[in-house]
Structure 1
């Protein structure tokens, strides 16, 4: 596809999102907007439900189509994918199905992880006697060297976010995955901030488990997620929760029951499916993934991350403080304005940054405060006009607060 054709494809995609028309929407790291086509698909589904003419088999077919789509998105087999409520649900499913022994440890950089990937390990430390080995961040990022140096012969899990929720920097997945595979350590990834934007290849990156939600980069709804578990590992795991959907009963009706002595787990990660599915959520994310998969994956990532670099470059040019410069190889689709990561989730200590936050809100720039920085996160519905608008507001803020910025820096 030519550059002109790519530009036309991204422009057409942008037109599907009302949220990208009436404001500068740079908050996909919190939640993505939904397209008009996703809205229409959900409405059509609800209309059928409202009519009372429900075909349950069609619902199950939808689930399998959606499972297949997600598997294709991450280069996995469908049997390696299960449905969850969110990232927390997926991580808990894996963590509680592993054969822990007292004294085993998990390696994690808690100060840069979202709470979705923190509390489960603290709970297991109390209930199963595992050790949480904390890795300190290096230059506001999760350091592969630090993670690898923390591994010992009692390490059972290494868990990281593919892109940190704040300040939004990449983690060298393939390097960590390879090291974990060589040592027989389960490599568990929170992919919430990269899925749907940055390419994810669980085979190439040697990922053993991947948990994502659908309301961010996948542009779906809250209350649904996916869990990938490498099949050979999933087959050896016993889920903490089990329902009909996680049991192999062949072609028997979903309400059929077996005996405790005879039931078999469903193949691979399907054993983690619990109860009826979130069919509305599946309708939404199936349509959204269909739209995302119309793009060449490399072109989509290049476009979105390229916009982030353009934004960082323009903000640098006007003198704004950035956590990562435009030439930082760790950059993904998130630009963080500030002097450093703070301890509080949704506030800033710097009053000048609060003034820029207020200016963004007044100027129609949808963004969030996370860990002491202003977080601007982009997707394929953004375009260069959004970048110019953000840069213009920031330049006016810098002009007003330049002495304060220099003092803080």
Structure 2
């Protein structure tokens, strides 16, 4: 297993900047760059071999399954989180009067619009309210009734940055035949995920955030018991069951069958270069281990949180005993149940940090720092020194 220092050395960005923006995108690592270069060299020099690309694709599928504790057959390739969420939303057989339960206060818009779109099928959207960005399993339980078909949550909210354990929600839903869908854009790759232990029915993720891969690719996990009941809204050659020996141009018969695995959701050719690059990223994560990564990152986040509070800033993200994650956000609660975006001092802080070589984000009026296994205590202390210099 590589050490944390060895892991960090794979990211040239740290020669120039302090990178604290994994919640937006991953910096490019040497292994991911090398995988891209090798693929391009092969394509340019030989025209490429599709059989080899397909083999790499299946390795990547299996490695993502290992990362989240799933079966390889339960994983589908997507373009991004949004496509994964939409696949599930459109594969469920809705009945007029069904409802979806979610908390818009803490969800990314892409995990809201997809459900608003289901109102065309007379599906009700049941709203859970947060308490200053904090939402509890009990809040979801209270909103669920006998017409609830699906509960949509994020394991880690993109703002204000808090962990919500899917396990009790998943148990509650499973006992009632309700589907639990998890947006893992901000968790898979940096927080430990075990879809079986957490009672998750489906999980969507993009490769360009905590998985440390490129844009343009994602994964969708769907539990086997649900998967075989799902009817995909799109259909193409790769999403139907044919003999393995048949070339992709072989039509087969009009009486097609859907495979009992994630391929039923896959349409057309794949983003082979992104899959091959993501395999390199997954190798890094699997070698380090998700529990090791999470423990390291939470220790940093805890130290950072305490340091920012000592500097007189209001931290809005989780704490060690309540929702701590890889994100640390600074801001203040405004009127109307949202964080205030009118604090000029926060904008000045954000701009000062950018000017001094810190990469971070400003989201919903919050200064957002987000960490991964490549960050270390030196990063934390240097940023805290910059913060203190503004007071």
> TM (normalized to structure 1)?
0.92
Size of the alignment, in residue pairs?
A: 390
- How far did 1:134 drift? 0.8
Query: Does the CA contact (< 8 Å) of 2:317 and 2:329 recur in 1?
Result: yes
Mapped pair 1:357 → 2:373: no
- How far did 1:344 drift? 12
Deviant stretches of 4+, over 4 Å: 341-347
- Could you tell me which of 6, 14, 24 is aligned with 1:20? 14
- How far did 1:48 drift? 1.1
Q: Hey, what does 2:272 align to over in structure 1?
A: 279
Change (3 A) 1:368 1:346: farther
Q: Hey, what does 2:186 align to over in structure 1?
A: 193
- Could you tell me which of 26, 36, 40 is aligned with 2:30? 36
How large is the Cα RMSD of the aligned pairs?
1.8
Query: What is the distance in 2 between the residues matched to 1:246 and 1:229?
Result: 15
Query: What is the distance in 1 between the residues matched to 2:207 and 2:336?
Result: 27
Query: What is the distance in 2 between the residues matched to 1:323 and 1:291?
Result: 31
- How far did 1:328 drift? 4.1
Query: Does the CA contact (< 8 Å) of 1:192 and 1:211 recur in 2?
Result: yes
Query: What is the distance in 1 between the residues matched to 2:118 and 2:334?
Result: 27
> SS at 1:183's partner residue?
coil
> SS at 2:248's partner residue?
coil
- How far did 1:122 drift? 0.8
* Structure 1: gaps of 5 or more residues: 1-5, 400-409
Residues 98-153 of structure 1: per-residue CA shift (max 9 Å, x gap) = 00001100001012111111111111102x11001111112312321111100000
Query: What is the distance in 1 between the residues matched to 2:20 and 2:150?
Result: 33
> SS at 2:175's partner residue?
helix
> SS at 1:112's partner residue?
coil
> SS at 2:324's partner residue?
coil
Equivalent residues in 2 for 1:339-378, closer than 5 Å: 339-340=332-333, 348-378=341-371
Residues 42-89 of structure 1: per-residue CA shift (max 9 Å, x gap) = 011011111243211111101110000001111111110000000000
Query: What is the distance in 2 between the residues matched to 1:33 and 1:295?
Result: 17
Mapped pair 1:181 → 2:174: yes
Mapped pair 1:334 → 2:292: no
Q: Hey, what does 2:376 align to over in structure 1?
A: 383
Change (3 A) 1:163 1:235: same
- How far did 1:346 drift? 11
Mapped pair 1:296 → 2:289: yes
Q: Hey, what does 2:42 align to over in structure 1?
A: 48
Change (3 A) 1:345 1:361: farther
Residues 296-326 of structure 1: per-residue CA shift (max 9 Å, x gap) = 3211110011111111111112211111364
Query: What is the distance in 1 between the residues matched to 2:300 and 2:336?
Result: 28
Q: Hey, what does 1:79 align to over in structure 2?
A: 73
Q: Hey, what does 2:301 align to over in structure 1?
A: 308
Residues 237-291 of structure 1: per-residue CA shift (max 9 Å, x gap) = 110011111111021111211233x211122222011111110110111000001
- Could you tell me which of 190, 198, 202 is aligned with 2:195? 202
- How far did 1:351 drift? 0.6
- Could you tell me which of 316, 323, 348 is aligned with 2:316? 323
* Structure 2: gaps of 5 or more residues: none
> TM (normalized to structure 2)?
0.96
Q: Hey, what does 2:122 align to over in structure 1?
A: 129
